[in-house]
Amino acid sequence: MRNLFLTLIFSVALSAGAQDSKIDISGLKKNGTIISLSKKIINLSWPAGHGETAKIIIDLENGHALLKSIHLGKGKLYKEIASDLDPAFVLTIGMRSLSPSSGGWDVFFDRVPKKPFQSYPVVIHKGNARISSTGQHTIISIEGAKADRFKGSIEITLYNGSPLFNVAAVLSTDVDSTAVLYDGGLVSKKALWRSLAWANVNDELQQVLSSPADTSRNIEVKFRTIIGENPGGSLALFPPPHQYFYPLDEAFNLKFTWYGKNFHKLIPEFGMGIRQDPYGDNRYVPWFNAPPKTQQRLNFFCLLDTGNAASALAEVKKFTHNDSYKPVEGYKTLATHFHNEFISEVALSGKPVPEKPEFVDVLKKHGLDIVKLAEFHGPGHPKGPDLERLKELSALFAQTRRLSDDKFLLLPGEEANNFYGGHWLAFFPKPVYWVMSRKRDEPFLREDPKLGRVYHVANKDEMLKLLELEKGLAWTAHARTKASTGYPDAYKNDDFFKSETFLGAAWKAIPGDLSIPTLSQRVLRLMDDMANWGLRKHVISEADIFSITHQNEMYAHLNVNYLQLDKLPNYEQGWQSVLDAMRTGKFFVSTGEVLIPAFNINGKKSGESLTLPASGAVKLSISLDWTFPMNFIDVVSGDGKQIYRERINLNDTLAFGKKDFSWSIKLAGRKWVRVEAWDIAANGAFTQMIWLDK
């Protein structure tokens, strides 16, 4: 009775406050967050985990700081972490090339900064507000954000169970062919923070005392995080770990954080935040898509800590497992498509060959068990002459053998780009000597007294024959974009594509689009299309990165395949088990923060076939392991013509969880089904297909 009475009083207080402050609370449901309103002040507190409570006071009066005060504490003892802060965003607007020959909105080969572009501060004139809740999330949306042709609102999202919140400018435009970048942060009219801190690229904590005289400077950091420290505690500010980084061929660390006043010569106040370099790696620089009328979320996360900067950074690192891929029992991690060119640029260059190359150490520290290279993508002699080609392959095999051990398997591989069309990768279960050309009087296969079998391949039929003889696999690299625009669609009816030697395609987050709650759907759409074509294909992940150094921002651009393998193969004995797991769909793909240790439908797992009951009703069971709070699961299925998506909301989950889920779903008339799982930061994982029979 007492709880009911308090609820009624609380509701009346909210209604009165809402009327005075033009605050809509119609979408608010009871979820553990406590809200009180007084004129244009919103007081919010939410359970922050570990017995702590976080508080934010929001001021809707124009001319006043939006974030009046931020606290964290236990019981009745709270520490003020910060006060008088405003969100600040810079939106950089350019032009997208939408040529169909370049992939349209799926384009990568676009040099946006070579065309006219301009940066604008997001001006915030605070208007009406709306407070809503969905599961364990509470969202405060404030009208009145604008930058040139874009307009929208500011959103602050609180996550129960963690001292974590998200700040976003949600903006849209009616203008077509638009590409964007954004910078963001928190600013104050005074030098608010006692000190600022970050980890340098060697993971060493750096600290500086802040001063009102500090002109904005860009900082090269690890973990993409900058931290403001005060006597009451620390606030760590960081972007979504993968979504924020538009696709590039290089993972250069381009100084993605900043602090000081007059940032970008557009934000006069003192602040700290995240930033993007518009020129990227000075090659193809596509930025983010911003199609007309899409709600682009320019966002960053804040994590509160009552301790110092080191304590706050340690908590941030947990969201990405210290930027490494967490071991999962019964699985080994595989990453593919690296153009490091160690063979051409080091091993065969006359330079000293290091006993422990930096790139190997980098990959190991990211928790990778197996790495498949893509050497000779530019350098090298794939078409011969034989003397050069076989020397290069011998060096590749020798170095990958030398650098592999019982805990790390470095495997040879190439992006072949001959015979089939577009770009594709070849992968064999052991060292194979082959030349991508054959003279008229030259045999397809010859025996070399030192090397053994040597193949000369003249066309796509012989390429298929080679893959069959050596039990190899091929797949389309960066399908439907880059130099594979139009592929594999153009060869979907060819024998080589239909064969078991052609795995399918590889996934990477190209393009970037901040309006969708997932990373790129380009290859996931292709995955569904291939299944509807009646072909049992699979999709692995690919990094498609050139240089690999400790200085680089590697983790943001990485992804991984978790292969169902009990043990790591021995290099000398071959790695057929790796290809077998790929060929049979015994793996899931992950960015690292969301894991799928188990998945089945009526007991059938990825890559297997399920006979549907007459009703089509089945039980989907899945185990998830996550860091950021989960957002949703998509159950994707097809009937050979259409594609169906059923979304299951997971916003009742808290940060850092493990859980087994099961749902009854109906798949009558469907021929295949798969699952995607995504968190609130657009990190995710997806399974391979389960094939459905009537």
pLDDT tens, 10-62? 443 444 344 445 899 999 999 999 999 998 999 999 999 999 999 999 999 99
Q: Which of these, 103, 6, 97, 19, lies nearest to 526 by C-alpha position?
A: 103
Model confidence at 7: pLDDT above 50: no
Query: Tens digit of pLDDT for each residue in 387-432?
Result: 999 999 999 999 999 999 999 999 999 999 999 999 999 999 999 9
The mean pLDDT value for 441-457 works out to 97
What φ, ψ does residue 166 adopt, rounded to 5°? -120, 140
- Residue 158's identity, in one-letter code, is L
- Residue 221's identity, in one-letter code, is V
Question: How many angstroms separate the CA atoms of 444 and 438, rounded?
Answer: 7
The mean pLDDT value for 351-357 works out to 95
| Bridge pairing between strands 288-289 and 512-513 | parallel
Distances (CA, A) of 87 to 134, 167, 294, 302, 369: 23, 7, 22, 11, 41
> Could you report how far apart the first and last alpha carbons of the chain are, in Å?
55
What the block records as the tokens of 321 is 């497992």
DSSP assigned state of 545: B
Model confidence at 4: pLDDT above 70: no
Question: How many angstroms separate the CA atoms of 17 and 39, rounded?
Answer: 6
Distances (CA, A) of 88 to 182, 266, 390, 448, 628: 10, 10, 57, 66, 24
Question: How many angstroms separate the CA atoms of 641 and 649, rounded?
Answer: 26
Phi-psi region of 684 (alpha: psi -120 to 50; beta: other; left: phi over 0): beta
Question: Looking at 11-25, 40-54, 106-120, 268-282, which range is the least confident one?
Answer: 11-25
Question: How many angstroms separate the CA atoms of 576 and 368, rounded?
Answer: 18
Model confidence at 105: pLDDT above 50: yes
Helix (H) or strand (E) holding 447: strand 445-448
Which residue spans within 29-147 are E strands per DSSP? 34-38, 41-49, 52-59, 67-74, 77-95, 118-121, 123-124, 129-134, 137-147
Distances (CA, A) of 47 to 44, 52, 133: 10, 6, 14
Q: What angle do CA 666, 670, 675 make, to 5 degrees?
A: 70
State percent of the chain over pLDDT 90.
Answer: 94
Model confidence at 513: pLDDT above 90: yes
Model confidence at 512: pLDDT above 60: yes
Half-sphere exposure of 63 (CA within 13 A, CB side): 0
What is the model's pLDDT at position 21?
52
Identify whether the C-beta of residue 389 lies closer than 8 Å to the C-beta of residue 382: yes
Query: Tens digit of pLDDT for each residue in 59-82?
Result: 999 999 999 999 999 988 999 999
Q: Which of these, 612, 615, 609, 678, lies nearest to 645 by C-alpha position?
A: 678
* Secondary structure, 3-state, 239-292: CCCCCCCCCCCCCCCCCCEEEEEEECCCEEEEEEEECCCCCCCCCCECCEECCC
What is the model's pLDDT at position 402?
98
Identify whether the C-beta of residue 179 lies closer than 8 Å to the C-beta of residue 98: no
Instruction: Please give the mean pLDDT across all residues of the chain.
Output: 95
What is the model's pLDDT at position 694?
80
Question: How many angstroms separate the CA atoms of 128 and 142, rounded?
Answer: 6
Identify whether the C-beta of residue 492 lies closer than 8 Å to the C-beta of residue 479: no
What φ, ψ does residue 266 adopt, rounded to 5°? -130, -25
Question: How many angstroms separate the CA atoms of 371 and 356, rounded?
Answer: 16
- pLDDT band with cut points at 50, 70 and 90 for residue 213: confident
Other C-beta atoms closer than 10 Å to the C-beta of 641 total 7
Question: How many angstroms separate the CA atoms of 110 and 112, rounded?
Answer: 6
Q: How many residues does the chain have?
A: 694
Tell me the longest C-alpha to C-alpha distance in the chain: 94
What the block records as the tokens of 446 is 């010859």
